[in-house]
Amino acid sequence: GFNRMGDDSLPSQFTAEVEARKKLVLRNLQEVLGADKLEKQLATPGKLVHVYWGTATTGRPHVGYFVPMRKIADFLKAGLKVTVLFADLHAFLDNMKSTWELLENRVIYYECVIKALLMSLDVPIDRLHFVRGTTYQLSKEYTFDLLRLCGQVSQRDALRAGAEVVKQVESPLLSGLLYPLLQALDEQYLK
């Protein structure tokens, strides 16, 4: 328990555990925003820190997936809840290179591969969750929120944000402009 004798300092064992978890979460990251907030959340008894990582199921998982899996392994070792978003709608909108049937099969395959990779890294996967984007992205509420967001974001800003994710072509489809808006909404819907 905590020392209730008027001393507000945390027990050294608790502080060391929080510091070790924080170190796991932050290691090998190029940029960190909100480290103080993270530390407070990690230090709050009973608080479950939740992160999500999304991937558009546009192709086969490859060796490049090992890098984010190592980071996800750190999150799981630190006791965080990790949600992996299989962005099947995003994949469909990426110049519509994949059929819905293919995307459905890829989601199943991705889940198997990601679980196997993480188990090979010897991390607990009891706090690992998978979500298929279309389970909520096709809802009335999500569609309404997307349309509201369309009324607040300029074409130029959406195009610039989408350039980071969607391969730009000579005559880009409107779906490429929606992609970054979907990502912003996903963050809210996966809380």
**pLDDT at position 164, please?**
66
What confidence score (pLDDT) does residue 13 get? Answer: 64
More confident residue, 14 or 132: 132
The answer on 179 and 111 residing in a single domain is: yes
pLDDT given at position 173: 75
DSSP 8-state assignment for residue 72? H
The domain in which residue 86 lies consists of 48-189
pLDDT for the residue 2? 39
Domain check: are 148 and 177 in the same one?
A: yes
Phi, psi of 128 (to 5 degrees): -100, 125
Determine which helix (DSSP H) or strand (DSSP E) holds 189, and give its type and residue range: helix 175-189
CA gap 10, 15 in Å, rounded: 6
At 92-106, the pLDDT tens digits run: 887 667 889 999 999
Q: How many CB atoms lie within 10 A of CB 141?
A: 9
Same domain, 28 and 100: no
Q: What is the pLDDT of residue 7?
A: 47
Evaluate whether residue 114 is within a structural domain.
yes
As a whole number, mean pLDDT of residues 32-44 equals 92
CA-CA distance, 185 to 52, in Å (whole number)?
Answer: 13
In a domain, 155, yes or no: yes
Q: Is residue 1 part of a domain?
A: no
Query: 169 versus 8: which is more confidently predicted?
Result: 169
SS3 content of the chain, % helix, strand, coil (to 5): 55, 10, 35
Q: Is the pLDDT of residue 5 over 50?
A: no
Q: What is the CATH number of the domain that holds 150?
A: 3.40.50.620
- Phi/psi-derived region of residue 6, left when phi > 0, alpha when psi is between -120 and 50, beta in every other case: left
Residues 23 and 74 in one domain: no
pLDDT tens across 59-77, in order?
A: 888 888 999 999 999 999 9
Judge whether residue 12 has pLDDT over 80. no
* Strand, helix or coil for residue 55: strand
- What's the pLDDT score for residue 11? 58
* Residue 162 pLDDT > 90: no
The residues, any chain, with a CB within 8 Å of residue 8's CB and separated by 6 or more, are: none
Q: Which residue has the higher pLDDT, 170 or 64?
A: 64
Predicted confidence at residue 138, as pLDDT, reads: 96
19-32 pLDDT, tens digit per residue, is: 999 999 999 999 99
185 vs 1, more confident:
185
User: Does any domain span residue 3?
Assistant: no
Q: Which residues contact 85 (CB under 8 A, 6 or more apart)?
A: 52, 53, 54, 55, 131, 133, 186, 190
53 shares its domain with 34: no
Is residue 55 one of the residues assigned to a domain?
yes
What tokens were used for 30? Answer: 């190029």
Q: How many domains is the chain partitioned into structurally? A: 2
Q: Which residue has the higher pLDDT, 10 or 190?
A: 190
